[in-house]
Chains A and B, each alone.
Chain A
Amino acid sequence: MVIIQKINKFLLFTIFFLTIRIGFSQEENELTPKITGNFETILQSYQIDTLIGISSEQLPDEKILSNSFLTLNYTFGKFSAGVKYEAYLNALQGYDNRYNGHGISGRFASYISDEIEITAGNFYEQFGNGLILRSFEERALGIDNSIDGMRVKYKPFSGIKLTGIIGKQRYYWEHGSGIVKGLDCEISLNQTIKKLSNKKIKILLGGGIVSKYQKNSDPVYNFPENVSAFSGRLNVSRNGFVLSSEFAYKINDPSSDNGLIFKDGNATFLNASWSKKGIGILISALRLDNMSFRSDRTASLNDLNINYLPAITKNHSYFLTSMYPFSTQANGQIGLNTEIFYTFKKNSFLGGKYGTNVNINFSVVNAIQKTKIIINPNADILNLDGYTSNPYAIGDENYYKDLNLEINKKLNKSLKFSLVYVYEDYNKYIIQGKDSSLHADIFVFDFSVKLSSKYAVRFESEYLTTNKNSQNEPVDFGNWIAGLIEFTYSPHWFITITDQYNTGNSKHDSAHYYNFFAGYTKGANRIQVGYGRQREGILCVGGICRNVPAASGFNLTLSSSF
Chain B
Amino acid sequence: MKLSKQKKLQLRNNGLKTIFSFAFLIFLTSLSFSQTTNGDIPSVDIKTINNEVYNTSEINNEGPIFLSFWATWCKPCIQELSAINENYSDWQEETGFKVIAVSIDDTRSSARVAPFINGKAWEFEILLDENSMFKRAMNINNVPHSFILDKNKKIVWQHSSFSPGDENEIYEILKKLKDGNYSEDK
Q: Which residues of A contact B (CB under 8 A)?
A: 3-4, 6-7, 10-11, 14-15, 17-18, 21-22, 24-25, 28-31, 34, 36-38, 40, 71, 73, 75-80, 111-112, 124-126, 129-130, 134, 136-137, 153, 161, 186, 188, 190-191, 202, 204, 235, 237, 240, 242, 244, 269, 271, 273-282, 284, 308, 310-312, 315-317, 339-343, 355, 357, 359, 448, 450, 452-456, 488-491, 493-494, 519, 521, 523-524, 526, 542-543, 559-562
| List of B residues within 8 angstroms of A17 by Cβ | 29
Q: Are B158 and A561 in contact (CB under 8 A)?
A: yes
| List of B residues within 8 angstroms of A161 by Cβ | 45, 53
Q: How far is the CA of A77 from the CA of B25 in the complex (A)?
A: 14
| List of B residues within 8 angstroms of A136 by Cβ | 106, 131-132
Partner of B116, one of A308, A311, A341: A341
Q: Are B160 and A521 in contact (CB under 8 A)?
A: yes
| List of A residues within 8 angstroms of B119 by Cβ | 275, 278-280, 340-343, 357, 359
Q: Which residues of B contact A (CB under 8 A)?
A: 11, 14-15, 17-18, 21-22, 25-29, 31-33, 35-37, 40, 42-43, 45, 49-53, 72-75, 106-109, 111-112, 114-121, 123, 130-133, 136-142, 145, 157-161, 163-166, 168-169
Q: How far is the CA of A244 from the CA of B112 in the complex (A)?
A: 12
Q: Are B111 and A38 in contact (CB under 8 A)?
A: no
Give the residue name and chain of the A residue nearest to B122 (CB): A277
Q: Are B112 and A24 in contact (CB under 8 A)?
A: no
Q: Are B131 and A25 in contact (CB under 8 A)?
A: no
Given contacts A31-B37, A453-B168, 10 further A-B contacts (CB under 8 A): A29-B36, A130-B106, A130-B107, A275-B117, A278-B119, A280-B114, A310-B106, A341-B118, A341-B119, A342-B119
Also in contact, A559 and B115, with CB within 8 A (given A38-B141, A134-B131): no
Q: Are A112 and B136 in contact (CB under 8 A)?
A: no
Q: How far is the CA of A214 from the CA of B27 in the complex (A)?
A: 36
Also in contact, A308 and B111, with CB within 8 A (given A242-B49, A488-B163, A491-B166): no
Q: Are A561 and B35 in contact (CB under 8 A)?
A: no
Also in contact, A79 and B31, with CB within 8 A (given A31-B37, A490-B166): yes
Q: Are B42 and A80 in contact (CB under 8 A)?
A: yes
Q: How far is the CA of A368 from the CA of B178 in the complex (A)?
A: 59
Chain B proximity of A392: nearest CB distance (Å): 23
Q: Are B165 and A450 in contact (CB under 8 A)?
A: yes
Also in contact, A273 and B111, with CB within 8 A (given A77-B31, A343-B121, A488-B163): yes
Partner of B118, one of A18, A134, A278, A355: A278
Give the residue name and chain of the B residue nearest to A361 (CB): B112
Partner of B139, one of A73, A341, A521: A73
Q: How far is the CA of A205 from the CA of B76 in the complex (A)?
A: 35
| List of A residues within 8 angstroms of B35 by Cβ | 29, 31, 77-78
Chain B proximity of A165: nearest CB distance (Å): 13
Q: Are B50 and A237 in contact (CB under 8 A)?
A: yes
Also in contact, A7 and B18, with CB within 8 A (given A71-B139, A277-B121, A491-B159): yes
Also in contact, A490 and B168, with CB within 8 A (given A76-B28, A237-B51, A559-B142): yes
Q: How far is the CA of A161 from the CA of B149 in the complex (A)?
A: 29
Chain A proximity of B127: nearest CB distance (Å): 14
List 30 A-B residue pairs with CB atoms under 8 Å apart, sorted by A's residue number: A3-B11, A4-B14, A11-B21, A15-B25, A21-B29, A24-B32, A25-B32, A25-B33, A71-B139, A77-B35, A124-B131, A130-B130, A134-B131, A137-B132, A153-B45, A188-B52, A188-B53, A191-B52, A240-B114, A279-B119, A280-B114, A284-B111, A310-B108, A341-B116, A343-B120, A453-B168, A454-B165, A490-B163, A491-B166, A523-B158
- The 7 A-B pairs of least Cβ separation, nearest first, read A341-B119, A280-B115, A490-B165, A275-B118, A271-B111, A488-B163, A310-B108
| List of B residues within 8 angstroms of A80 by Cβ | 42
Q: Are B32 and A14 in contact (CB under 8 A)?
A: no
Also in contact, A3 and B107, with CB within 8 A (given A25-B33, A240-B118, A490-B168): no
Taking each of B15, B18, B165, which has the highest tally of chain A beta carbons within 10 Å of its own beta carbon?
B165
Q: Are B45 and A524 in contact (CB under 8 A)?
A: no
Q: Are A18 and B29 in contact (CB under 8 A)?
A: yes
Q: How far is the CA of A29 from the CA of B37 in the complex (A)?
A: 8
Also in contact, A129 and B107, with CB within 8 A (given A78-B31, A279-B119, A280-B118): yes
Q: How far is the CA of A126 from the CA of B47 in the complex (A)?
A: 12
Q: Are B165 and A455 in contact (CB under 8 A)?
A: yes
Give the residue name and chain of the B residue nearest to A490 (CB): B165
Give the residue name and chain of the B residue nearest to A269 (CB): B107
Q: Are A18 and B120 in contact (CB under 8 A)?
A: no
Q: Are B112 and A308 in contact (CB under 8 A)?
A: no
